[in-house]
Homo-oligomer: A and B are copies of this chain.
Amino acid sequence: MTEAGTALVVSAHSADFVWRAGGAIALHAERGLAVTVICLSYGERGESAKLWRLPGMTLDRVKTDRRKEAERAAQALGAADIQFWDLGDYPLTLTQESLFRLVDVYRAIRPAFVLTHSHQDIYNHDHPATTEFAQHARIVAQAHGHNPGQKVLGAPPVFLFEPHQPEQCDWKPDMLLDITPVWDKKRAAIECMAGQEHLWEYYERVARQRGAQAARNSDKKITYGEGYEAVFPHVVESLA
């Protein structure tokens, strides 16, 4: 844990953190926050179409390739740690043991904020399951009776990053983060995802649209943005 603090990203599959939160990771890493990324799954079954089209592909090779891509992307973004929990996907299997493991992470790093998926996603079953799981672990981490004697977690805000088709997932951004200063890093991380090249331009356009909206909502000059939806009310000391 650096003096600047830490942040936690809970990503269902090994590429989600790049498309959806790469800008936030790079931005806060530059400012000294130690960002931990947890990939619950490699996305080896559901999000690796290109790899499976290669001859002689096996589940292990898909996982290995996905892991390498994600590690390179995490490095490009300056994440302090990336963990692969290999819990399967389509469906993701989330046990109480994994829940308590995530509780341990919350208590160990004490994140300044948490990023995870939207509450709903009609195109993906694992995404909302991950959000529910990340929220549940946060609540247990706050409980004095879980591993009594350990210091309990405070109340870190949780922000939900953008799903693939936001309106269809009832996700509405109430925060627009200016990621212009770190766009090059996010683009570099995106390009690590060789297996999903068809999404590169899609997510560059997402960043440009959110940037244009951030500019319009603030009267500032912003080119690239990421949208987030807060789960809890913002506690503030000023409105200005």
**1/0 contact trace for A197-211 toward B, CB 8 Å?**
000011001101100
Q: Which residues of B contact A28 (CB under 8 A)?
A: 238-240
- Chain B, Cβ-Cβ closest to A165: B213
A171 contacts partner chain B, Cβ-Cβ < 8 Å: yes
Q: How far is the CB of A175 from chain B (nearest CB, A)?
A: 5
**A222 CB to nearest B CB, Å:** 7
* In contact, B218 and A235 (Cβ under 8 angstroms): yes
Cα distance, A190 to B144, chains bound together (Å): 21
Contacts of A143 in B (CB 8 A): 45-47, 90
Q: Which of under 10, 10 to 19, 20 to 34, or 35 or more describes the interface residues of A? A: 35 or more
Verify if A194 is at the interface (C-beta below 8 Å from B).
no
A170 nearest CB neighbor, chain B only:
B172
Closest to A5 in B: B240
User: Is the beta-carbon distance between B113 and A176 smaller than 8 angstroms?
Assistant: no
* A206 cross-chain contacts in B, Cβ below 8 A: 209
- Cα A206 to Cα B202 in complex, Å, equals 11
Contacts of A166 in B (CB 8 A): 167
Q: Is the CB of A175 within 8 A of B234?
A: yes
0/1 interface trace, chain A 118-149, chain B, CB 8 Å (1 if under): 00001111000000000110011011111010
| A230: interface (CB < 8 Å) | yes
Given contacts A143-B45, A144-B52, A167-B167, contact A176 B236 (CB under 8 A): yes
Q: Sample 25 A-B pairs with CB under 8 A, ordered by A number.
A: A28-B240, A33-B240, A46-B140, A52-B144, A53-B144, A89-B145, A90-B139, A90-B145, A90-B146, A113-B239, A115-B239, A154-B219, A155-B216, A165-B213, A167-B167, A168-B172, A174-B174, A174-B230, A175-B236, A176-B236, A178-B235, A178-B236, A205-B205, A209-B209, A214-B233
Extra pairs beyond A28-B238, A112-B239 (12, CB < 8 Å) = A46-B142, A46-B145, A46-B146, A57-B148, A62-B145, A123-B139, A123-B216, A155-B219, A173-B233, A177-B239, A178-B237, A228-B239
